A = this chain, B = another copy of it.
Amino acid sequence: MYRQPDFSHPRFQNAPDARFQAAPADGVLPEGFFSTTNLPTYVRVGGEWKLPRDPRMDSALVLDPDNVPRVLEGRYVRRGQMVAMGFAEDGAEGIYVHASGLMGDPDMGPEGEFKFMSSEVSREKPTDYPEMARILVDERERGGHFIWVVGPAVLHSRGRDTLAWFVNNGYVGVLFGGNAVAVHDIEAATMGTTLGMNGRGVPVEGGHAFHMRAINRVRAAGSIRAAVEQGIIETGIMHALVTSGVPYVLTGSIRDDGPLPDTITDVVAGQEAMKVHTRRATGVIMIATALHSIATGNMLPSYVYREDTGEVRPLTTICVDSSEFVVSKLKDRGTHQAFGVITNAQDFLHVLRHYVEIEAASRQPAAVA
């Protein structure tokens, strides 16, 4: 189960002994100390590669009187005690971290460098908004077809305005969603609430039925477009899509109320309507909807292929959800080149717009004097 390193290999034969340096004070290590991992770590002492006593991570290496190394927390090192030095984990400085010796260690890089935080999706990782902004502006400039897949959580007050801004400014190639996202957007446009709550999240009287009243008005008008044209819908995402001429595909789910006349209730027909767009997609951004995101992910290749030029490049994917589970699941489904962002949909859109505005402004040609 454990594979010993082959110390007859020249890289080990030619390695020096580990270098040691005295600690400058009690509980203080010399700058450049070797910091341990929890993996089997061989220290070369007197030409011999030895495993240390008391192994653990985030600690220093000292020598016991019998010349066997020992792992010791920095706080217990005494002034003048000799401490192993160096950064290399490949044996070149006399210390070798043998990551590959334990089977099935997927978190190791080549040559066994130990890495923290190697799982790819985590609320504790920074989000590279400037890079996402750069991609969105690039795609707009070169006429890409970016798919936005959104769930109802984008709708609360400012999120809805911000998404309409992205539509109106040319960043949305097509919008995919369910019946609910349109229903609650139109509820906001016609009744002033989302999910029966006002903009501060407080339920209003009778609010539980407001989405049903919104649906009924669109059914009476005949379609979302007709409701926009008749002045029933004057704000929001669906309004922005209709007035900007950006297409949308609303597909049904078994939990739908209504549905709206525009919602495609047959799921196979719905996939066909989506396919018109997934075929020519150059990127996708999926926000706060596991169902529609996975549906879209299932239909998208991991790459963009131009048959005329033969060019192949990765398809950009941005997944946003409050939960690591959903974002990881999208990766499990085989969606690569993903930005995984663990955050609130409304905050995501707010911050993304901020960076997109900066990026777009930076590309404006200077005005002529």
A65 at the interface (CB under 8 A from B): no
Does the CB pair B153–A123 fall under 8 Å? yes
Does the CB pair B332–A118 fall under 8 Å? yes
Does the CB pair A24–B220 fall under 8 Å? yes
Does the CB pair B2–A314 fall under 8 Å? yes
**Which listed segment binds B: A10-18, A237-245, A340-348?**
A340-348
- Chain B residue, CB-CB nearest to A151: B124
CB of A40 to closest CB in B, whole Å: 6
With a cutoff of 8 Å between Cβ atoms, the chain B residues found around residue A268 in the complex are: 75, 252, 259, 265
A223 at the interface (CB under 8 A from B): no
Does the CB pair B298–A58 fall under 8 Å? yes
Does the CB pair A208–B322 fall under 8 Å? no
* Interface residue tally on A, bucketed by range: 35 or more
A1 at the interface (CB under 8 A from B): yes
Does the CB pair B74–A212 fall under 8 Å? yes
- Chain B residue, CB-CB nearest to A56: B299
Does the CB pair A298–B257 fall under 8 Å? yes
CB of A168 to closest CB in B, whole Å: 21
Chain A 181-224, CB within 8 Å of chain B: the 1/0 string?
Answer: 00000000000001111011101011111011101110110000
Contact A74 to B125, CB < 8 A, known contacts A58-B209, A267-B252: no
CB of A188 to closest CB in B, whole Å: 11
Report Cα–Cα, A167/B261, bound state, in Å: 39
A333 at the interface (CB under 8 A from B): yes
- Chain B residue, CB-CB nearest to A211: B58
Among all A-B residue pairs, the 3 with the closest Cβ atoms: A35-B209, A343-B344, A126-B156
